[in-house]
C-alpha cells in the first residue's frame, strides 16, 4: 500500500529539482524551436488544427503537444523556453508519480520510491523531461496506458479499460498510431502468456484500439480538410513510411546495434553501477556448466515470476524489439521502457546493498568524484585560468568563444549554491559511510545534486553560448518589423532558432519570391542562389561572427531587390 508521506516527498523532490531550471537554457538546437514555433503559430493565427509555421511548413507530428505548449503559454502571455518545456517536464513528473503508485501498491513503498527516483534520473528520461519535444509526453501516455491495462487484467478484464483508451487516444494525438500499437502489443502478449485464448484477447484489444482511434480521428479529418493531399502524404510518410523504411529522405537510419548502445548510454549513471557489478555477474555465470542451463534457468525464472514483474519485463522486451524493426531509430523512441527498466534496477540496488554493499559504496565514491570535477572545471574557467592556457587559434575557435562567454557571464549567490550542491551531498555521503549509516539515499542525493548543478548553472552557461538568440537580436535591431526571408539548400532545414526569437517572421524565399526585402542565407548557399536569381541584386548588411547552432555556418543577411526590367 502506498505511503502518502512518501508520495508527498516525491512530489516535492520532483518540483524542486525540475521547475526552477526549465528556462535557464536558451534554444540551441533545431528541434526545440521547431516545435515551439508551432504553438506560437496557433496563438498568433488562432488555427489550432493545422497551423503554418517556419515560413510555410505544417507540423510533422499531431498537435497534442503543441496544444499543451500553447495552453501554458497563453496563461503566461507568451511562448518562451520555459513554457515550451513545461509540458515535457509535467509529463515526466506525472509518469514518475504513476510509477511510484503502481509499484508501491504491488511491491512496497521503498521499492516503489527507488524505482521512481531511478526513472527520473536516468539520463535519457532526464533529458526528455527538459526538452521541448513530443517524446516525453508520448512516453507518459504509453506508460499510463500500459499501467491501466494491467489494472484491467487485475479486474479479470471485466468491462472496458476506459482510461487506457483515453491515454492511447492522447498518445496517438501526440505522435501517431504507435501510441495504440505498443500498449496493445504488450498487453496482448501478456494475456496470452497468462492463458487467455487468442480470439478473446484479439477481440478485446482490437475493439479497444478502434475506440481509441475516435478522438484522434476527429483531428485527422479536420486537418485533412485544411491540408488536403499534402497533409495525407505527410501522415503516411511519417508513420508508415518511417516504420517500413520507405521515406523520401533519410531520417536517423541506424543498424540493429544502435538501440543497445542508446539504452546503455541513456541509463547513465546507472550503467556505471552495472559495469561495477559485472565481475560478480560473470562469476555467477561460471557456475553454469553449459549454455542450455542458461535457457532452463530463464524458463524457470519466467514461470516463477509474478504477474507484475512479468508485465514489466514484457514492456521492456517487446517495445525494444518493436523499435529494432524500422531503419529509423532514435534514442528517444525507447523512452517508454525506461521506467520499467528502473524497477529491475531498483531490485538490483537493494540486492547489492544487502549482499554486496561494497559495490554500492564504490559507486557512490565514483559519483562523488564525478560530481566534483565539473565544479573544479567551472572555477578554473571563471578564474580565467583556462582561457590563459588556450592557444591563439583555440581562442578564436567556437570552443574559445564558449570559454570566453562562460568566463565573463556573471552569476549570483543562488547559482553558486547550485554549483556547490554536489559537494554538500558528497559530505553527507562521507559522513554516512563513517558513521555506518544507510547510504542508499545519500548516493541518490549525489545523483540529484549533480543534475541540479548541471541544469541550474553549468549546462546553461555552455549551451547559451551556442544559441542563435544573439544573432536574432542583431537581425531584429537592423530589421525591427516586417517579414524576413530565408533560404537553405538542404531540404526540410530552416533557420528554426532565429525564426523563433524573431517571432516567426522568417518566410521561405522560394515560396514567396518577394520583390524586395531581407534574405538570410549561409555562405556556401549564397553563390549558387545568386546565380539562380540573377534578376535580383543583393547587398550584404549583416554577417554573424559565430556559427549558427542550426546550420553550423555563419548567417548572412542581404538586402535584396528585384532588378528593373
pTM: 0.93
Structure confidence at residue 284 (pLDDT): 67
Give the whole-angstrom CA distance, residue 35 versus residue 496: 9
Collect all residues with Cβ–Cβ distance below 8 Å to 216 and sequence separation of at least 6: 62, 169, 172, 173
User: What's the confidence (pLDDT) of residue 328?
Assistant: 81
CA angle 71, 74, 77 (to 5 degrees): 155
CB 342 within 8 A of CB 447: no
Q: Residue 519 is inside which H or E element, if any?
A: strand 516-521
What's the confidence (pLDDT) of residue 390? 78
pLDDT at 291: 63
pLDDT value at position 169?
97
pLDDT of residue 286: 54
**H-type helices in 46-108, by residue range?**
64-76, 81-107
Residue 112 CA to residue 65 CA, distance in Å, equals 28
Which residue, 483, 487, 473, is CA-closest to 556?
A: 487
| CA Rg value for the chain | 26
| Bridge partners for 389 per DSSP | none
Beta-carbon contacts of 356 under 8 Å, excluding residues fewer than 6 positions away, are 277, 280
Give the mean pLDDT of the chain.
91
* Segment 369-422, tens digit of pLDDT: 998 888 888 888 888 888 888 777 777 676 777 777 777 777 888 888 888 999
pLDDT value, residue 290: 61
Residue in the block written with cell 549564397: 526
Which residues in the chain show pLDDT less than 70?
1-2, 238, 240-252, 284-292, 294, 396, 398, 565
Question: How far apart, in whole angstroms, are the C-alpha atoms of residue 454 and residue 531?
Answer: 47
> How high is the pLDDT of residue 395?
73
Quick one: CA torsion of 335, 341, 345, 346, rounded to 10 degrees? 90
- Asked if 429 contacts 446 with a C-beta cutoff of 8 angstroms, the reply is yes
Residue 249's SS3 state is coil
CA 551/CA 496 separation, integer angstroms: 10
Asked if 265 and 271 touch (Cβ cutoff 8 Å), the reply is yes
User: From CA 557, how far away is CA 518, in angstroms rounded?
Assistant: 7
pLDDT at 524: 95
- Residues 136-156: tens digit of each pLDDT: 999 999 999 999 999 999 999
For 247, what's the count of Cα atoms within 13 Å in the CB-facing half-sphere?
A: 17
Q: Residue 202 and residue 200: Cα distance in Å, rounded?
A: 6
Torsion angles phi and psi, residue 131, rounded to 5: -115, 145
Q: Which of 522, 527, 531 is nearest to 551 (CA)?
A: 522
Q: Which are the contacts of 11, defined by CB distance < 8 A and separation ≥ 6?
A: 93, 97
In the chain, the N- to C-terminal Cα span, in Å, equals 81
Position 233 scores a pLDDT of: 82
Please tell me whether residue 305 adopts helix, strand or coil conformation: coil
Amino acid at each position: 500500500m502506498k505511503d502518502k508521506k512518501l508520495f508527498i516527498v516525491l512530489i516535492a523532490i520532483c518540483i524542486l529539482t525540475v521547475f526552477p531550471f526549465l528556462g535557464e537554457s536558451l534554444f540551441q538546437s533545431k528541434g526545440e524551436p521547431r516545435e515551439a514555433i508551432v504553438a506560437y503559430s496557433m496563438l498568433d493565427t488562432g488555427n489550432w488544427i493545422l497551423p503554418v509555421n517556419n515560413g510555410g511548413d505544417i507540423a510533422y507530428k499531431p498537435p497534442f503537444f503543441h496544444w499543451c505548449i500553447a495552453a501554458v503559454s497563453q496563461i503566461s502571455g507568451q511562448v518562451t523556453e520555459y513554457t515550451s518545456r513545461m509540458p515535457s517536464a509535467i509529463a515526466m513528473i506525472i509518469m514518475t508519480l504513476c510509477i511510484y503508485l503502481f509499484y508501491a501498491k504491488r511491491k512496497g513503498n521503498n521499492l516503489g520510491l527507488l524505482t521512481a527516483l531511478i526513472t527520473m534520473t536516468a539520463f535519457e528520461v532526464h533529458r526528455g523531461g527538459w526538452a521541448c519535444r513530443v517524446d516525453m509526453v508520448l512516453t507518459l501516455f504509453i506508460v499510463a496506458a500500459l499501467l491501466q491495462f494491467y489494472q484491467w487484467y487485475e479486474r479479470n478484464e471485466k468491462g472496458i479499460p476506459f482510461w487506457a483508451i483515453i491515454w492511447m487516444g492522447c498518445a496517438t494525438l501526440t505522435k501517431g498510431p504507435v501510441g495504440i500499437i505498443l500498449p496493445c502489443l504488450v498487453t496482448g502478449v501478456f494475456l496470452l502468456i497468462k492463458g487467455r485464448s487468442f480470439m478473446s484477447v484479439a477481440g478485446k484489444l482490437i475493439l479497444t484500439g478502434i475506440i481509441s482511434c475516435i478522438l484522434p480521428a476527429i483531428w485527422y479529418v479536420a486537418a485533412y480538410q485544411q491540408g488536403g493531399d499534402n497533409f495525407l502524404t505527410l501522415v503516411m510518410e511519417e508513420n508508415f513510411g518511417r516504420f517500413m523504411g520507405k521515406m523520401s529522405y533519410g531520417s536517423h537510419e541506424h543498424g540493429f546495434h544502435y538501440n543497445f548502445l542508446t539504452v546503455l548510454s541513456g541509463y547513465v549513471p546507472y550503467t556505471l553501477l552495472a559495469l561495477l557489478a559485472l565481475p560478480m555477474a560473470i562469476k555467477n555465470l561460471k557456475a553454469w556448466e553449459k549454455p542450455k542451463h542458461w535457457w532452463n534457468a530463464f524458463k524457470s525464472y519466467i514461470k516463477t515470476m509474478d504477474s507484475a514483474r512479468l508485465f514489466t519485463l514484457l514492456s521492456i522486451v517487446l517495445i525494444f524489439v518493436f523499435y529494432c524493426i524500422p531503419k529509423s531509430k532514435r534514442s528517444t523512441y525507447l523512452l517508454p521502457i525506461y521506467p520499467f527498466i528502473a524497477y529491475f534496477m531498483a531490485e538490483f540496488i537493494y540486492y547489492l546493498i544487502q549482499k554486496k554493499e561494497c559495490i554500492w559504496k564504490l559507486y557512490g565514491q565514483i559519483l562523488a568524484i564525478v560530481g566534483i570535477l565539473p565544479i573544479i572545471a567551472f572555477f578554473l574557467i571563471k578564474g580565467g585560468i583556462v582561457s590563459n592556457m588556450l592557444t591563439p587559434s583555440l581562442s578564436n575557435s567556437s570552443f574559445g568563444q564558449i570559454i570566453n562567454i562562460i568566463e565573463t557571464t556573471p552569476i549570483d549567490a543562488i547559482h553558486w549554491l547550485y554549483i556547490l550542491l554536489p559537494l554538500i551531498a558528497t559530505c553527507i555521503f562521507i559522513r554516512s559511510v563513517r558513521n555506518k549509516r544507510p547510504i542508499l539515499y545519500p548516493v541518490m542525493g549525489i545523483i540529484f545534486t549533480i543534475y541540479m548543478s548541471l541544469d541550474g548553472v553549468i549546462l546553461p552557461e555552455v549551451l547559451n553560448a551556442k544559441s542563435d538568440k544573439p544573432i536574432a537580436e542583431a537581425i531584429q535591431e537592423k530589421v525591427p518589423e516586417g517579414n524576413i526571408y530565408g533560404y537553405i539548400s538542404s531540404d526540410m532545414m530552416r533557420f528554426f532558432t532565429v525564426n523563433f526569437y524573431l517571432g516567426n517572421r522568417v518566410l521561405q524565399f522560394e515560396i514567396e519570391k518577394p520583390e524586395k526585402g531581407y534574405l538570410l542565407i549561409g555562405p556556401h548557399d549564397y553563390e549558387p542562389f545568386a546565380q539562380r536569381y540573377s534578376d535580383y541584386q543583393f547587398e550584404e548588411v549583416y554577417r554573424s561572427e559565430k556559427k549558427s547552432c542550426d546550420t553550423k555556418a555563419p548567417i548572412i543577411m542581404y538586402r535584396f531587390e528585384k532588378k528593373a526590367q
